[in-house]
């Protein structure tokens, strides 16, 4: 118990230090159940958002939405024979989740996977329902990543989100529209619509990353600066987060399209294959952008190295020009006494000795510059 409390305290401190999850070096690991915990045990997450139910009663001609519904409201709608989409936002209220589990006969292992939000994207088939786990983004920020769980049977769909804010408004608008086949189809088609919206939200996220890479490419070409390296590392870290969410999602979508789940009619399989194609396309985009980020980092380092070589070349040329000048100044600076010996410096007694010395130095420097240009070193 002490180890678990220590882990939860560390998680609390990390969230307080970076509550929005925007920190550049955010390496907070999700809480996992202690070793040896019995299967199906529900343990609260200290950082879980408060729980709320948004219930949508689906009829062929209309859909009725109830905000902040209670478990009793859901039970009453079930008794009335309505098809339901129960959207649970926040996983802090384990009593509510347990009550929903009892109401819909949800397997204890499925509830454990929903509450413990460190799951890999997957699909699990149970006796009366199926559980799909994916990672969802809001389409704007990589930091918005959360686990999104979909549990459904032949009549009802339950979704579970970690916190408020999602990308599912297009599905809600389709349900509220006057004409829409989403209400006339069964729960499997609603599951398809939810998955399609979640996967499509990856596209604007990756397109924004692509725009940032293009901007970095322009900066490197015009005026590279050290901040480019930090930006590239941030983008590579974000792409890694997206990649970890997409790769297992592709496997999950492939399992759905194989028709192993009897809860999904055959006519919905074609739509699921379309989502699978989108996932493959997204994975290609992620790999392309990761390679581009690596190439831009290499281009930056090459550009910096080239600029350093140019600077070193200029400094070397300047030093080379001044070497003979220093040599001449050293010779004439020895100041031998001309009267003591005829072999001493005759220039010491020359009337124009100083202008002659300066002219000789200037001519030597100009001669070296002309020679360097002739050799194409300048």
Tens of pLDDT, residue by residue over 222-248, are: 888 888 899 999 999 999 999 999 999
Task: Give the integer Cα–Cα distance in Å for 59 and 82.
Answer: 7
84 lies in the same domain as 167 = yes
Most confident of 20-34, 230-244, 302-316, 326-340: 230-244
122 lies in the same domain as 165 = yes
Number of domains in the chain: 2
Contact 33, 3 (CB under 8 A): no
H-run or E-run covering 348: none
DSSP 280-335: HHHHHHHHHHHHHHHHHHHHHHHHHHHHHHHHHHHHHHHHHHHHHHHHHHHHHTS-
- Output the pLDDT for position 328: 82
Helix (H, G, I), strand (E, B) or coil at 60: coil
Tell me whether residue 1 is in a domain: no
- Mean model confidence pLDDT for the chain: 84
284 lies in the same domain as 188 = yes
Tell me whether residue 3 is in a domain: no
CA 73 to chain centre: 39
Tell me whether residue 8 is in a domain: no
Structural domain ending residue among the three candidates 302, 320, 352 = 302
182 lies in the same domain as 254 = yes
* Interacting residues of 147 by C-beta distance below 8 A, sequence separation 6+: 117, 118, 119, 133, 134, 135, 136, 162
CA distances from 63 to 51, 89, 180 (A): 23, 20, 11
Tell me whether residue 188 is in a domain: yes
Q: What is the CATH number of the domain that holds 155?
A: 3.30.460.20
Rounded to 5 degrees, φ, ψ at 159 are -125, 150
Token code pair at residue 18: 């970076």
244 lies in the same domain as 337 = no
- Output the pLDDT for position 360: 86
pTM of the model: 0.76
Q: What is the CATH number of the domain that holds 322?
A: 1.20.58.340
284 lies in the same domain as 316 = no
Tell me whether residue 16 is in a domain: no
74 lies in the same domain as 205 = yes
- Residue 339 pLDDT > 80: no
- Output the pLDDT for position 17: 42
- Residue 16 pLDDT > 70: no
Token code pair at residue 55: 């219930």
- Output the pLDDT for position 26: 44
Tell me whether residue 131 is in a domain: yes
Contact 289, 171 (CB under 8 A): no
198 lies in the same domain as 183 = yes
Helix (H, G, I), strand (E, B) or coil at 155: coil
Higher-confidence residue: 327 or 180?
327
Structural domain ending residue among the three candidates 284, 302, 320 = 302
Rounded to 5 degrees, φ, ψ at 337 are -80, 115
Token code pair at residue 65: 């939405």
Higher-confidence residue: 34 or 322?
322
Tell me whether residue 68 is in a domain: yes
287 lies in the same domain as 313 = no
Q: What's the domain range around 298?
A: 31-302
Rounded to 5 degrees, φ, ψ at 45 are -95, 130
Q: For residue 110, give the nearest of 130, 87, 89, 84 by alpha carbon.
A: 130
- Residue 4 pLDDT > 80: no
134 lies in the same domain as 170 = yes
- Output the pLDDT for position 260: 63
Average pLDDT over residues 205-221: 92
> Could you read off the pLDDT of 28-51 as tens digits, one per residue?
445 566 676 677 677 777 788 999
Tell me whether residue 239 is in a domain: yes
Helix (H, G, I), strand (E, B) or coil at 55: strand
297 lies in the same domain as 316 = no
Rounded to 5 degrees, φ, ψ at 336 are -70, 150
319 lies in the same domain as 172 = no
Structural domain ending residue among the three candidates 274, 302, 330 = 302
CA 81 to chain centre: 43
């Amino acid at each position: 118990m002490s180890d678990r409390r220590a882990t939860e305290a560390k998680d609390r401190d990390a969230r307080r230090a970076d509550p929005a999850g925007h920190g550049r070096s955010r390496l907070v690991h999700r809480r996992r159940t202690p070793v040896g915990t019995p299967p199906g045990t529900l343990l609260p997450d200290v950082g879980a958002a408060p729980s709320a139910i948004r219930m949508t009663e689906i009829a062929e001609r209309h859909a009725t939405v109830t905000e902040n519904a209670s478990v009793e409201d859901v039970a009453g709608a079930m008794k009335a024979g309505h098809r339901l989409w129960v959207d649970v936002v926040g996983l802090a209220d384990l009593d509510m989740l347990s009550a929903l589990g009892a109401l819909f006969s949800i397997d204890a292992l499925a509830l454990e996977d929903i509450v413990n939000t460190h799951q890999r994207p997957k699909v699990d088939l149970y006796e009366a329902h199926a559980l799909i786990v994916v990672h969802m983004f809001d389409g704007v920020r990589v930091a918005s990543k959360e686990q999104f769980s979909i549990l459904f049977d032949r009549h009802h769909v339950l979704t579970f989100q970690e916190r408020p804010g999602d990308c599912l408004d297009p599905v809600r608008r389709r349900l509220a529209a006057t004409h829409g086949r989403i209400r006339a189809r069964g729960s499997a088609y609603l599951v398809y619509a939810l998955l399609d919206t979640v996967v499509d939200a990856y596209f604007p996220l990756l397109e924004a990353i692509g725009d940032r890479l293009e901007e970095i490419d322009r900066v490197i070409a015009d005026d590279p600066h050290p901040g480019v390296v930090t930006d590239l590392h941030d983008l590579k870290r974000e792409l890694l987060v997206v990649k970890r969410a997409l790769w297992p999602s592709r496997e999950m979508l492939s399992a759905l399209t194989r028709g192993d789940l009897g809860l999904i009619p055959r006519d919905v399989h074609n739509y699921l294959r379309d989502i699978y194609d989108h996932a493959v396309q997204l994975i290609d985009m992620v790999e392309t952008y990761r390679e581009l980020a690596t190439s831009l980092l290499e281009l930056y380092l090459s550009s910096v190295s080239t600029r350093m070589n140019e600077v070193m070349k200029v400094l070397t040329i300047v030093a080379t020009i001044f070497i003979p000048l220093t040599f001449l100044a050293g010779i004439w600076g020895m100041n031998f006494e001309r009267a003591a010996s005829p072999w001493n410096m005759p220039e010491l007694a020359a009337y124009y000795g100083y202008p002659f010395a300066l002219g000789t130095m200037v001519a030597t420097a100009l001669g070296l510059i002309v020679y360097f240009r002739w050799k194409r070193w300048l």
